[in-house]
Structure 1
Amino acid sequence: MRLRTMLPELEGATAWLNSGEIKRKDLVGSPILVHFWSISCDLCKRDMLVLNQICEQYLDHWRVISVHTPLSDEDKNQEEVRRVADEHEIYRPVLIDHEDRLSKIFRIRHVPAYYLFDGEGRLRHYQSGGGGLSLLRRRMDRLSGQ
Structure 2
Amino acid sequence: MNEFRDKYKDHLNVAAVHIPRSEDDLDLKKIKKTAAEHGISQPIYIDSNHSLTEAFENEYVPAYYVFDKTGQLRHFQAGGSGMAMLEKRISRILSETEQASE
Query: Which bracket does the TM-score occupy, shorter chain normalised?
Result: 0.7 to 0.9
Q: In structure 2, what is the Cα distance between the partners aligned to 1:130 and 1:71?
A: 19
- For the aligned residue pairs, the C-alpha RMSD in angstroms reads 1.3
Q: Which has the larger radius of gyration?
A: 2
Identity of aligned residues (%): 39
Q: In structure 2, what is the Cα distance between the partners aligned to 1:76 and 1:128?
A: 23
The runs of at least 4 aligned residues of structure 1 exceeding 6 Å deviation read: none
Which runs of no fewer than 5 residues in structure 1 stay unpaired? 1-50
Which of the numbers 74, 98, 102 marks the counterpart of 2:48?
Answer: 98
Residue matched to 2:71: 121
How many equivalent pairs are there? Answer: 96
Q: Which has the higher helix share?
A: 2
Supply the AA of the counterpart residue of 2:20.
P
Residue matched to 1:63: 13
Query: Normalization by structure 2: what TM-score?
Result: 0.87
Which runs of no fewer than 5 residues in structure 2 stay unpaired? none
Larger RCO (alpha carbons 8 Å, 6+ apart): 1
Equivalent residues in 2 for 1:1-146, closer than 5 Å: 51-145=1-95
Query: Normalization by structure 1: what TM-score?
Result: 0.62
Q: In structure 1, what is the Cα distance between the partners aligned to 2:72 and 2:36?
A: 30
